[in-house]
Structures are given as structure tokens and as C-alpha cells.
Amino acid sequence: MEVTVRRTDGEYYYYYVEKSFLIIVRATTGSPPVMWGLGAFKGSLAVGEEMTAAPAFQIPEDAPTGTMQITVYVWSDWAVYGGYPLATPYVTYITVTD
């Protein structure tokens, strides 16, 4: 799965200052959600820059077939290190088959 992020914040005088980010991709099924995959990618961008990353994870062989929710988070860093959300989470769905 590929994820593209673009930095749109900042004023003109911060244009060349890069800001770190963390992409977290989570695959879940059911209610309450059961996590079947987790991928992450760290990078940094200047204002106006864009990057495509592939935070990979493997769905286990014993995962149920059917619809799986994929949620993409963009944070400043991991929460344990004081990270905070930089964007609204994005949700999409995939179908898991045999």
C-alpha cells in the first residue's frame, strides 16, 4: 500500500524548514476492532513538498477473509515521544481473500 503526504502548513519564511512526520497504517476487522497489521514510515518535508511512501505490513495467514479497514494516520512522532496528529485520519477498505 502506498501513501502520499503533502505538507501544506507554514508561512513563506518557513518554506525551507523541514518538519518531521510519521505515517502509521493500521489494518483492522470487527467490532471492537482487532488489529491484523501495522506499518509505519518516518520522514520530513518542507512546505509544499510531497512524498509517497509504502509503510508495509503483512496480513497473517490466519486473518479472516472479507473486508478489512485500513486507517492511515499522520503524526509528528510516536505518541510515547510526545507526538500529536498532523492530519485527519484517512480510512479505506480492502478485501482479504484466500
Which residues have C-beta within 8 Å of that of residue 65, sequence separation ≥ 6? 96, 97, 98
Contact 67, 93 (CB under 8 A): yes
Report pLDDT for 10.
67
Report pLDDT for 12.
59
Q: Write down all domains in the chain, each with its CATH number in brackets.
A: 3-96 (2.60.40)
Report pLDDT for 16.
64
Nearest to 19 by CA among 10, 27, 28: 10
Report pLDDT for 21.
92
Q: What is the pLDDT along the chain (98 residues), one digit of tens a residue?
A: 788 988 887 665 555 678 889 999 999 999 899 999 999 999 998 888 899 998 888 888 888 899 999 999 999 999 999 999 999 999 999 998 87
> Cα(first)–Cα(last) distance of the chain, in Å?
19
